[in-house]
Amino acid sequence: MTRALISVSDKTGVVAFAQGLADRGIAIMSTGGTLRTLREAGIEAEAVETYTGSPEVMGGRVKTLHPRIHGGILARIPEDPDRGGQADDDDRADLERLGAAAIDLVVCNLYPFARTVAGGADLATAIENIDIGGPSMVRSAAKNHARVTVVCDPDDYGRVLEALERDGTVSATFRRTLAAKAFAHTAHYDGVIAAYLAGEAEVDAADPPLTDQMAAEVRRFPATRTVSLERVTGLRYGENPHQGAAWYRERGLAAGTLAAAQEVGAGGKALSFNNLVDLDAAYDAVREHERPAAAVIKHTNPCGLAVHDELVEAYRRARAGDPVSAFGGIVALNRPCDLATAEVIAETFIECVVAPAFDGEALARLRRKKKLRLVAVGSVPAPRGLTYKRLGGGFVVQDEDATGPGEVDAGRVVTRRAPTAEERAGLDFAWKVCKHVKSNAIVFARGTEVVGVGAGQMSRVQSVAIAGEKAGAKSRGAVMASDAFFPFPDGVEAAAALGITAVVQPGGSVKDDEVIAACDAVEVAMIFTGHRHFRH
């Protein structure tokens, strides 16, 4: 490797990487802001326009689109060791006619188009952030990976320097891996641009013009959408041992998501497909709450969830919600795990714990549990935006069900008796939990503690019965949340017989009047929120 071309938008780590190349005697060419960054750091670099003999034009739109650049990248030089090529594939004569030199390394990442449009940029600004020269160089280098190394991810800088230090070259296998990553990089980039332009074109072509709300809907769900994924790891198997599986993450994923998490306690075996699905459901459930919260999840449903000023007490109460089902469950915390909480978690067999972080003492305590896996997410995640569900031959895509908080306070009291302040607080808590339970979903709560859950039943009254069975004597004086309306009075009648004093539900049944009358007959208070929270 004798010559490198470096032109990056994301300059993370580029100075140290360029210094490592320069220390090995590799000549560096660069452009624009990258060139200034390198020179300010004392790294000698040649301006691309000096090498090409052609100045940057059109405000920087054209600088690397030149035969000496792409010829230097695409040239085949067959006698180079370990670089493939046939005797009749020799482009050195053409390089000489161009006055060009072979470029062995291309370091390039692209204009921040996704970040620009996410920030609300107008169309003209978005267009100027469509990179042309960058993708062209990346694709040229990736195509000619038989000779050229292409790096588009700062995380690979260290690996390339290690290879050069160890072997004096970058192996053919590593070059191919980097080439595949480069094509994935440009494919994702083009997909983001295509989706953006498709949405803008549809909005512009609408007749009559769309309202702001309708335009926002079109932009969220454009005519084309590319989902770009990269593998995190292979999995031992899927939901069942006869199913193969792997774990993928989205490109450009947000911090605080499970796919960006760090496994900090291996527990003797890798996370499974089912562990990951449950971990995601568990962390999703606790992020709804502003105060310290803990959830115990079994098969994606909360079997216990509680909120308390002390995290350890939140966990203790969450586990008490269904101590039998908690055995072998998944625990989620919305605060860093401390030693006191770790001590209580360690009392029970738990499969995995997910939290923003684990302090040193907590980590040491939980690592003594030989089969316990620990996952640190780094922060409580922001809303996810869009969610996807795979169907045969395609996907259904929807906005995240991000509502819930505030819906009880804004709801309509429909019974003669209004909930007390204590009941209303319990209803608000139960309502936040209920949206994380599979439909038909029923949640019984006392204060900020789940005492019974009925999940995934074909009839709502059956879910009520199961929640009551789980809660036992704790049903008396508890409140109830239902993710959808009661089609008949039997559900609230069964709840009242168990001792439920207040109910929150969306309303909207043709038999709402009968359901309200059934509550009034036993002085159960009820709020209609007008919002449904199915989870299938």
**Looking up tokens 């319990």, which residue turns up?**
426
Tokens of 259: 């796919």
Cβ within 8 Å of residue 107, ≥6 positions away? 4, 5, 6, 7, 8, 14, 17, 150, 151, 152
H or E element that contains 20: helix 14-23
Contacts for 399 with CB less than 8 Å, ≥ 6 apart: 220, 385, 386, 387
Contacts of 254 (CB under 8 A, 6+ apart): 260, 381, 382
The residue from 269, 289, 299, 435 that is catalytic is: 299
Q: What SS3 class is residue 224?
A: coil
State how far Cα 146 lies from the chain centre.
34
Residue 53: which of 33, 76, 37, 29 has the closest Cα?
Answer: 29
Compute the chain's Rg from CA coordinates: 29
CB neighbourhood size of 535 (10 A):
17
Q: Known catalytic residue: 308?
A: no
Residue 279 CA neighbour count, 13 Å, CB half = 26
Pair of tokens at residue 178: 């980097």
Amino acid at 274: N
Sign of the dihedral defined by the CA atoms of residues 49, 53, 55, 56, in that order: negative
Catalytic residue check, 185 = no
Cβ atoms of residues 519 and 495 within 8 Å: no
Asked whether the CA dihedral 441, 447, 449, 451 is positive or negative, the reply is negative
Which residue among 11, 66, 143, 370 is the active-site one?
143
Catalytic positions, written as ranges: 143, 299
